[in-house]
């Protein structure tokens, strides 16, 4: 009898969790599992702000996919997905096609520019290893060029971060630690460097605990960050950005580096493949299948699930993507075997910790608020836990964060 074929697209948190849980749940002869990913490595998206600022080398945030999959049960294909043809049950890759019986779409998210002019062309986003490496190199280039040029362009040393959500704040935490090092490395006067954070909402980290936000703002301001709150980015230009300060007041900010960190949308493959989506995210059924498709699961940043208590979507996080991977693997095993109970997915939110650099953070975990070293310790525990859940103790030993003090 032909074995059913499960194709998992994306080896991020959701995809790898599905693959590693499914490989444990099924026997070699029960199913064919194929994992497809753009690169032959997985990267910890949750550490990319560190690689982008240059406080952690990008090789520390990635590991080979072959290290965590059981090659007897899971085949890996390095390839880029262009589109899904759900009618013919086919995945179109840039250089070929794959057929599936069951499909898991775990392709993550993409930077959301809300159609704001010039951002795609002139701003960077923290989305993968390639973009992180580019941001780090670009900032260093600006410092080196400023030092070497005769007619100094001071704006080279201005770094603007658009959006004071968790990504923007975590990046600024790392950047404000990195800038003094860069100043020493390139013999640049620290007083010349500007780190600006432009946030449209009336507060930093909108919706997060006000006391913790106050702590974060004070800590980052101490390290040289200036916040422009209630200020929306309206345009990206080759010279920097244009912001709106009230109804009609526009201001140009010249900056050598603009990092756009104002939210994400689902992977573009979703809309291209004809799934009904909101900002590229599919509102999935409780069992994580796409509405109208018995054979397609969508998890992670490309899936949308509603928090019924507040009637708003859960924010897309690694925490949820990994939990969805577990449920998805369970449900696939039930479908493959034709026995057992399909599970509904319910997120189990253990907390949120936002790093403010190497040794500082804010967070709420297991209902308790924390700041400083304690919160930073918790963040590293969370980082190590995600490695453990996918690759066990070997991966934690190899890639884990042990700089607790």
Output the residue with the shortest Cβ distance to ligand FAD. 12
Rule CB under 6 A: is residue 323 a binding residue for ligand NAD? no
Minimum distance from residue 78 beta carbon to ligand FAD (Å): 9
**From 174, 199, 326, 383, residue interacting with ligand NAD (rule: CB under 6 A):** 199
Compute the distance between CA of residue 89 and CA of residue 86 in angstroms, rounded to an integer.
Answer: 5
Cα separation of the two ends of the chain? 57
List the single partner that 263 binds among ligand FAD, ligand NAD, none, CB under 5 to 8 Å by kind. ligand NAD
By rule CB under 6 A, what count of residues binds ligand NAD? Answer: 26
**From 198, 220, 284, 303, residue interacting with ligand NAD (rule: CB under 6 A):** 198
Rule CB under 6 A: is residue 208 a binding residue for ligand NAD? no
Pairing of strands 32-37, 5-9: parallel
Cα angle 271, 317, 374 (rounded to 5 degrees) comes to 165
**From 196, 200, 225, 290, residue interacting with ligand NAD (rule: CB under 6 A):** 200
Q: Which residues pair with 162 in a beta bridge?
A: 198, 260
Q: Is 239 a catalytic residue?
A: no
List the single partner that 384 binds among ligand FAD, ligand NAD, none, CB under 5 to 8 Å by kind. none
Rule CB under 6 A: is residue 113 a binding residue for ligand NAD? no
Count Cβ neighbours within 10 Å for each residue of 219-249 and write b for 16 or more, e otherwise: bbeebbbebbeebbbbbbbeebbbbbeeeee
Catalytic residue among 170, 174, 199, 326: 170
Minimum distance from residue 240 beta carbon to ligand FAD (Å): 22
List the single partner that 12 binds among ligand FAD, ligand NAD, none, CB under 5 to 8 Å by kind. ligand FAD
Minimum distance from residue 138 beta carbon to ligand FAD (Å): 17
Residues in the chain: 405
Residue holding tokens 């997060």?
Answer: 208
CB nearer ligand NAD, residue 200 or residue 299:
200
| DSSP summary character for residue 156 | G
Rule CB under 6 A: is residue 163 a binding residue for ligand NAD? yes
Rule CB under 6 A: is residue 229 a binding residue for ligand NAD? no
CB nearer ligand NAD, residue 314 or residue 388:
314
CB nearer ligand FAD, residue 242 or residue 396:
396
Minimum distance from residue 216 beta carbon to ligand NAD (Å): 11
**From 190, 206, 291, 340, residue interacting with ligand NAD (rule: CB under 6 A):** 206
Closest CA to 172 of 141, 206, 209, 135: 135
Compute the distance between CA of residue 354 and CA of residue 29 in angstroms, rounded to an integer.
Answer: 44
Classify the phi-psi angles of 207: left when phi > 0, otherwise alpha if psi is within -120 to 50, otherwise beta.
left
**From 352, 376, 384, 386, residue interacting with ligand NAD (rule: CB under 6 A):** 352
Query: Within 10 A of 339 (CB to CB), how many other CB atoms are there?
Result: 8
Distances (CA, A) of 10 to 42, 211, 235, 385: 9, 37, 32, 20
Closest CA to 196 of 248, 144, 259, 247: 259
Pairing of strands 62-64, 250-254: unpaired
User: Which two three-digit tokens encode residue 367?
Assistant: 């209902």
Classify burial at 101, counting beta carbons within 10 Å of its beta carbon; exposed 0-12, middle 13-18, buried 19 or more. Answer: middle
Summarize as ranges the residues that interact with ligand FAD (CB under 6 A): 10-15, 36-39, 42, 45-46, 48-49, 80-81, 106-108, 126, 128, 167, 170, 267, 269, 300-301, 316-319, 321
Rule CB under 6 A: is residue 145 a binding residue for ligand NAD? no
**From 15, 263, 325, 391, residue interacting with ligand NAD (rule: CB under 6 A):** 263
Task: Identify which range of 34-42, 73-81, 290-298, 349-357 contacts ligand NAD by CB under 6 A.
Answer: 349-357
CB 49 within 8 A of CB 90: no
Rule CB under 6 A: is residue 4 a binding residue for ligand NAD? no
3-class DSSP state of 316: coil
Binding site for ligand NAD (CB under 6 A): 116, 162-168, 170, 198-201, 206, 232-233, 261-264, 315-317, 352-354
Query: Catalytic site residues?
Result: 170
């Amino acid at each position: 009898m032909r074995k059913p074929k499960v194709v998992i697209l994306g080896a991020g948190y959701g995809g790898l969790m599905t693959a590693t849980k499914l490989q444990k749940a099924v026997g070699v002869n029960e199913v064919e599992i194929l994992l497809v990913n753009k690169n032959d490595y997985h990267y910890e998206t949750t550490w990319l702000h560190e690689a982008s600022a240059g406080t952690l080398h990008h090789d520390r945030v990635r590991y080979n996919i072959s290290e965590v999959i059981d090659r007897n049960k899971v085949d890996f294909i390095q390839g880029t997905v262009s589109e899904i043809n759900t009618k013919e049950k086919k995945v179109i890759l840039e250089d070929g096609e794959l057929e599936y019986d069951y499909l898991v779409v775990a392709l993550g998210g993409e930077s959301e520019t809300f159609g704001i002019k010039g951002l795609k062309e002139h701003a960077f986003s923290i989305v993968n290893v390639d973009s992180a490496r580019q941001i780090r190199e670009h900032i260093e280039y600006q410092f080196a060029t400023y030092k070497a040029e005769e007619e100094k362009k001071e704006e080279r040393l201005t770094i603007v971060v658009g959006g004071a959500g968790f990504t923007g704040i975590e990046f600024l935490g790392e950047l404000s630690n990195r800038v003094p090092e860069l100043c020493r490395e390139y013999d640049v006067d620290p007083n010349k460097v500007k780190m600006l954070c432009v946030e449209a909402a009336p507060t930093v980290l909108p919706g997060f605990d006000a006391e913790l936000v106050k702590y974060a703002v004070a800590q980052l301001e101490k390290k040289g960050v200036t916040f422009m709150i209630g200020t929306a980015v309206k345009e990206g230009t080759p010279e920097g950005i244009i912001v709106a300060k009230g109804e009609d007041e526009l201001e140009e900010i010249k900056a050598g580096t603009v990092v756009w960190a104002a939210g994400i949308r689902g992977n573009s493959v979703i809309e291209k493949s004809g799934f009904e989506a909101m900002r590229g995210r599919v509102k999935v059924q409780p069992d994580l299948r796409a509405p109208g498709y018995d054979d397609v699961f969508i998890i992670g940043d490309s899936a949308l699930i509603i928090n019924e208590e507040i009637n708003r979507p859960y924010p897309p996080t690694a925490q949820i993507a990994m939990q969805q991977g577990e449920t998805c693997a369970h449900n696939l095993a039930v479908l493959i075997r034709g026995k057992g109970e399909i599970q509904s997915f319910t997120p189990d939110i253990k907390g949120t910790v936002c790093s403010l650099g190497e040794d500082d953070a804010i967070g709420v975990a297991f209902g308790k608020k924390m700041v400083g070293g304690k919160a930073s310790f918790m963040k590293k525990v969370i980082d190590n836990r995600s490695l453990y859940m996918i690759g066990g103790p070997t991966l934690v030993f190899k890639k884990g964060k042990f700089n607790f003090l």
